[in-house]
A and B are shown apart, each in its own frame.
Chain A
Amino acid sequence: MNDMTPPNIPGAKTLPKDWETDQEVRWCPGCGDYAILKAVQRTMPEIGGRPENTVFVSGIGCSSRFPYYMETYGFHTIHGRAPAVATGVKLANPDLDVWIITGDGDGLSIGGNHTMHLIRRNLDCQVLLFNNEIYGLTKGQYSPTSRVGTRSPSTPFGSVDRPANPCAFALGAGGRFIARGIDVHKNLPTVLKAAHAHKGTGFVEIFQNCIVYNDDVFAPFTEKKNAGAAQMWVEHGKPLLFEGGSKGLALDHERLVLKVVDVAEGDWQAAGVIVHDQTNRGLAHMLVEMPFGAFPMALGVIFDDPAPTFESAVVTQNAEAAQGKKPDLQKLLSSGQTWQVEKEPRVE
């Protein structure tokens, strides 16, 4: 709600319900967004977040209604531009905890340029990209992440263009934190916490089911019955195993690509299974680009290798450039080559 909120007591420990607003949530019944909202509201107390220091910035689309439901500061901006608005917010006040909520259309189509530059600059913020592979709010057109052949009102004979891979895009833009989660999966808060702990742009692709226009598009790996064989939750320092540890990923040294290997009796080392190193950019590229089907879906924190952030570099440079200079506007105005005109015009 926007009014009559009892003031929060700074420093007090919050509960998930402290992060809820009184606004009626307007997503379709059964939408994956509800689960994500709950996961975020559960995460905020755990990371010690303060509502008054938190800003949710979104663009346009179903996901972008998110800020209205978070009891924080919030800015529902215009289509695709949330990263740019968030950049201004963070540069103006680096102490704020900034979260960007976007979708596959908002963040990768109309706002793809801003997403790229946000990640390239490494602004300290979290980007939650709700990927449902469809335009929901405009009633079901195919999106830049829709698979080839997606039938929609704008592609009645099936889409013909190849989809973008959000994590590969983010990594290619120079991303230093790349993770994946699933709307209804219990691991989502863990992923969100890791994104928040990362200093820099924390990019999280969340597979989100659109129950109305693209139901079950992720079922091949999100359904409980498929989870074991199709989900591979990666963890730093742990072997890349799935299907209850009976399968793993190894490197095909001839072709420099990943391959699926069988693990006999838990001896993953004998099978040559790779140990996940979240600071290995090359491995991250291979993991996010594995074709699903032949490979499982890599989930969790795939890449996490911090680098200096944009806003800290700006603040540092501003301070250094200003050092030792006194802001004297009158002097500034009088700078350059000047001349004095006497009372009487010069007569020659």
Chain B
Amino acid sequence: MATAVHEVTPEEASANPPAESIVVRFAGDSGDGMQLTGGQFTLSTALAGNDLATFPDFPAEIRAPQGTLFGVSAFQINFGSTAIETAGDAPDVLVAMNPAALKTNVGALKPGGLIIADEGEFGQRNLDKAKYASNPLTDGSLGKWQLLSFNISQLTLDAVKPFGLGNKEALRCKNMWTLGLALWMFDRDRQPLIDWLNSKFAKNPTLAEANVAALNAGHAYGETAELSGPMHRHHVPAAPVEPGLYRTVTGAESISFGLVAGAQLAGVPMFFGGYPITPASAILHHLSRLKEYGITTFQAEDEIAAIASAIGASYAGQLGVTSSSGPGIALKGEAMGLAIMTELPLVIVNSQRGGPSTGLPTKTEQSDLYQAVYGRNGDAPLPVIAARSPADAFDCAIEAVRIAVQYMTPVMLLTDGYIANAAEPWLVPDMNDYAPFPVEYLENVPEGGFLPYARDEKLKRPWVKPGTPGLLHRIGGIEKAVGTGNIEYGPANHQEMTDIRRDKVANIAVPEQEVALGNASGKLVVVGWGSTFGPIHQAVRRARARGQDVSHVHIRHIWPMPANLGVLLKGYEHIIVPEMNTGQLKTVLRDQFLVDAKPLNKVSGQPFMIAEIEAAIEKGLAA
């Protein structure tokens, strides 16, 4: 992510020098607590002042059968003293808690990288489940990496023996043992974790003590054991960042905060209608706890009811918000049309995941751009905004609320599974820096009479709350007469209303497109949107450090697009559009601006690697 604001020097940009940035991946069985281990390591890393980015990668099954290849859960963190914008390409260190975790993750490890394996889990049964013919820890097949294997299971059991836990419970402390070792390796402070464990297990002090003991034992193991291998203490200095108060934030958190902030800036209570779906549910969970901010949350019976209730709340004068992922967004399509037709404010958050259909529920993808821009019956335009990182999602959510209430329109906010789950340091914003945009309801009959579909200069119609005397009116999904909003099927009227709906959205004031890195014209531009920001930015930075004429443009306003975007893109000889889909933004750019945008596509459920984009830049420049 980009908390760093300093000018990046060529030295910094030249590479990710190993001393400055390290990628660690924790992998284990989905029951091993890998996400927890990763999350706590992240926190300690942030507390050490490192910039960081994380990538949780877990299976769709809550508890997949133990030891299986598809039950592997992994958590990757990239941290360093330079600005970190991606979760890192290849890990430097892989912590493998069982054979399946080793098998599914070792391929990604850098040549010469370090494997830490729990040999206690490498029995015949687990080897069979991971489809290993022989034990990789002993058969020499891991030769191109450095290997450290010890019986973490047994060491953990020994460490927690004084607490009298059952075998199963005791083994659950394995992740803390591993974490202790990792903390030692990277010179991290244990105290915040000890505090956290004590508060987490406040009701069960024995469990707290056992976990702390495991953590300390892992740490001590690193410190005192006579390790034959290459293990040594890494020290990663703090990254230079803008001064201020920081916290870690996930996309789901920052979107929730942004929606609350937006509603406050608009001075309107928020109604959130949601239905559980991975990876969007976290937003419903966060908002459900914030009643004191004037938020009503409603877990509806289905996705359609979730959006329909939000539309009902908007009709009644609150800010309706709904959230889902691709399959749920598809179900909401008809209701979005209703919100467009009735011109009511609404925010729809789509945490994209791999598709189509159920697809890859826990993996990330950006393949709902067509759905967002075009995916409704009829000519049904609505504004689309895409967040590029967990921290950026805060401002995007505020922007979505602003447009919704200032233009009386549904707005789609795109994020993805990667942004929703990933954590990054966040410079806590000062709310005094945000200008309020209070909503105005129509409360009296205006001069000349009341027309429900009268329009201001922005083509916005008035917002009237039921309960207001003198302004009774009916709205609905049938085409309405210009001005009165009465049912009207006439051909000229439909043409006019369709034009108005198009123009209203097309003329929304969105900020000019800026260049994220590089020049406003030149040989090659890499154009991205959403969570590809990190890898694109790093790849462009490295290319520029090599003296190549490459720039990075990252689009937040997908629809309508910034007015200057076409002219800007035409100033470059080559345009590359990396996307985690088969080329959706590329198609829109070609359609809107008749530019020769070339796609770079990846739909593996994994984020781009910097190297992949660098390779595309090389190829593009050679063309």
Q: Which residue of A lies closest to B235 (CB)?
A: A348
Residue contact A84 to B308, C-beta cutoff 8 Å? yes
What is the chain A residue whose CB lies nearest that of B309?
A: A88
A76–B478 alpha-carbon span in the complex (Å): 8
Task: Determine the chain B residues whose CB is within 8 A of the CB of A347 once the complex forms.
Answer: 237
By beta carbon, the residue of chain B nearest A82 is: B308
Q: How many residues of chain A are within 8 Å of chain B by beta carbon? A: 74
With A75-B315, A77-B338, A341-B244 as known contacts, state yes or no: A326 contacts B304, CB within 8 Å. Answer: no
Binds B, one of A5-13, A157-165, A179-187, A253-261: A5-13
In angstroms, Cα B462 to Cα A277, docked, is 49
In chain A, residues 148-192, which have Cβ atoms closer than 8 Å to a Cβ of chain B? none
Would you give the shortest CB distance from B258 to chain A, in whole angstroms? 10
Residue interface mask B480-517, A partner, CB < 8 A = 1: 00011111000000000000000000000000000000
Among A78, A91, A318, contact of B291 (Cβ-Cβ < 8 Å):
A318
* Residue A296 at the chain B interface, CB threshold 8 Å: no
A6 to B237, CA, bound (A): 73
* B467 adjacent to A95 (CB under 8 Å): yes
A10 and chain B: residue at smallest CB distance? B469
Contact with B along A47-83 (1 / 0, CB 8 A): 0000111010100100000011011111111100101
Hey, which chain B residues are within 8 Å of A70, CB to CB?
474
CB proximity of B380 to chain A, nearest CB, Å: 13
* Contact flags A327-347 to B (C-beta < 8 A → 1, else 0): 101101111111111110111
Q: What mask results when residues 264 to 303 of chain B are scored 1 for a CB within 8 Å of chain A, else 0?
A: 1000010101000000000000000011111010101110
B623 at the interface (CB under 8 A from A): no
User: Chain A residues with Cβ under 8 A from B46's Cβ?
Assistant: 337, 339
Give A22 Cβ to nearest chain B Cβ, in Å.
Answer: 9
Contact mask A302-317 → B, CB, 8 Å, 1/0? 0000000000001001
Q: Are A91 and B313 in contact (CB under 8 A)?
A: yes
Instruction: Name the one of A91, A333, A340 contacting B431, with C-beta atoms under 8 angstroms.
Output: A333
Picked from A7, A67, A83, A343, the residue with its CB within 8 Å of the CB of B476 is A67
Q: Which residue of A lies closest to B300 (CB)?
A: A84
Contact of A55 among B241, B311, B466, B470 (CB under 8 A): B466
Q: Mark A19-35, 1 if CB is under 8 A from B, else 0.
A: 00101000000000000
Q: Which among A2, A72, A78, A88 has the greatest number of chain B C-beta atoms within 10 A? A: A88
B247 touches A337 (CB 8 A): yes
**Complex CA–CA separation, A10 to B470 (angstroms):** 9
A205 smallest CB distance to B (angstroms): 21
Q: Is B305 an interface residue (CB 8 A)?
A: yes
In whole angstroms, how far apart are the Cα atoms of A3 and B450 in the complex? Answer: 6
Q: Is the CB of B261 within 8 A of A329?
A: yes
Cα–Cα distance between A84 and B465 once the two chains are bound (Å): 18
Most A Cβ at <10 Å: residue of B452, B473, B476, B486: B476
Chain A residue with minimal CB distance to B481?
Answer: A2
Which one of B306, B311, B316, B469 has the greatest number of beta carbons of chain A within 10 Å? B316
Provide the bound-state CA to CA distance between A319 and B291, in Å: 8
Q: What is the bound-complex CA distance between A78 and B466, given in angstroms?
A: 19
- Taking CB atoms, residues of chain A closer than 8 Å to B430 are 330
Kindly state the separation between the CA atoms of A75 and B302 in the bound complex, as whole angstroms: 21
* Chain B minimum-CB-distance residue to A55: B466
In the assembled complex, how far is the CB of residue A94 from the closest CB belonging to chain B, in whole angstroms?
Answer: 10
A201 to chain B, nearest CB (A): 14
CB <8 Å contact, B308 and A321:
no
Interface string of A112-125 (1 = CB under 8 A from B): 01101100000000
Is B316's CB under 8 angstroms from A81's CB?
no
Summed over the interface, the residue pairs from A and B with CB atoms below 8 Å come to a total of 245
Please give me the residue from chain A that is nearest to B307 by CB atom: A84
CB contacts (< 8 Å) of B311 on chain A: these are: 77, 85, 88
Distance in Å: Cβ of A209 to nearest Cβ of chain B: 24
Whether A52 touches B243, Cβ cut-off 8 Å, given contacts A76-B477, A88-B313, is: no
Q: Mark A204-227, 1 if CB is under 8 A from B, else 0.
A: 000000000000000000000000
Partner of B316, one of A67, A89, A325, A333: A89
Shortest Cβ distance from B449 into A: residue:
A4
Query: Does A93 make an interface contact (CB < 8 A)?
Result: yes
Q: What residues on B are CB-neighbors of A319 within 8 Å?
A: 291
- A329 and B290 CA atoms in complex are apart in Å by 10
What total of chain B residues lie within 8 Å of the partner, measured CB to CB? 83
In angstroms, Cα B392 to Cα A233, docked, is 64
Q: Are A346 and B291 closer than 8 Å at their CB atoms?
A: no
Docked Cα-Cα span, A8 to B302, in Å, equals 38
Rounded to whole angstroms, the CA-CA distance of A318 and B335 in the bound complex is 27
The answer, among A4, A88, A326, for a CB contact under 8 Å with B308, is: A88
Residues A326 and B292 in contact, CB atoms below 8 Å apart? yes
- Complex: how many Å from CA A152 to CA B205? 71
Decide: A84 and B294 in contact? CB cutoff 8 A: no
**B65 in contact (CB, < 8 A):** no
Contact A339 B246 (CB under 8 A): yes
Residue in A9, A92, A348 whose beta carbon sits within 8 Å of that of B313 in the complex: A92
The verdict on A96 contacting chain B, using a C-beta distance below 8 Å, is yes
Give the residue of B243, B257, B269 whose beta carbon is less than 8 angstroms from that of A342: B243
User: B477 contacts A78, CB within 8 Å?
Assistant: yes
Bound Cα distance A2, B480 (Å): 11
Q: Does A86 contact B (CB under 8 A)?
A: yes
* Residue from B192, B291, B315, B486 within 8 A of A88 (CB atoms): B315
CA distance A75 to B46 in the complex (A): 50
The distance in angstroms between the C-alpha atoms of A339 and B44, with both chains bound, is 11
- Binary interface encoding of chain A residues 29-47 relative to chain B, with 1 for a CB under 8 A from any of its CBs, else 0: 0000000000000000000
In the assembled complex, A322 has its CB within 8 A of some CB on chain B: yes
Q: Check if B309 sits within 8 Å of A51, measured CB to CB.
A: no
Q: Which 9 pairs, one residue from A and one from B, show the smallest C-beta to C-beta distance? A: A88-B312, A76-B476, A7-B470, A88-B309, A84-B308, A74-B474, A92-B316, A84-B305, A73-B466
Give 8 new A-B contacts, CB below 8 A, not counting A93-B317, A318-B296, A339-B246: A2-B451, A73-B474, A78-B335, A91-B296, A114-B301, A333-B431, A335-B247, A341-B244
**Interface CB pairs A-B, < 8 A, 27:** A23-B487, A52-B471, A53-B466, A74-B474, A74-B476, A77-B476, A78-B334, A81-B335, A83-B305, A84-B304, A88-B313, A89-B466, A90-B312, A92-B296, A92-B317, A96-B316, A314-B296, A317-B291, A318-B291, A333-B261, A334-B247, A337-B43, A338-B245, A338-B246, A338-B428, A345-B239, A345-B241
B binding-site residues for A, Cβ under 8 Å: 43, 46-47, 49, 192, 235, 237-248, 257, 260-261, 264, 269, 271, 273, 290-294, 296, 298, 300-302, 304-306, 308-318, 320, 334-335, 337-338, 342, 428-431, 445, 449-452, 465-478, 483-487
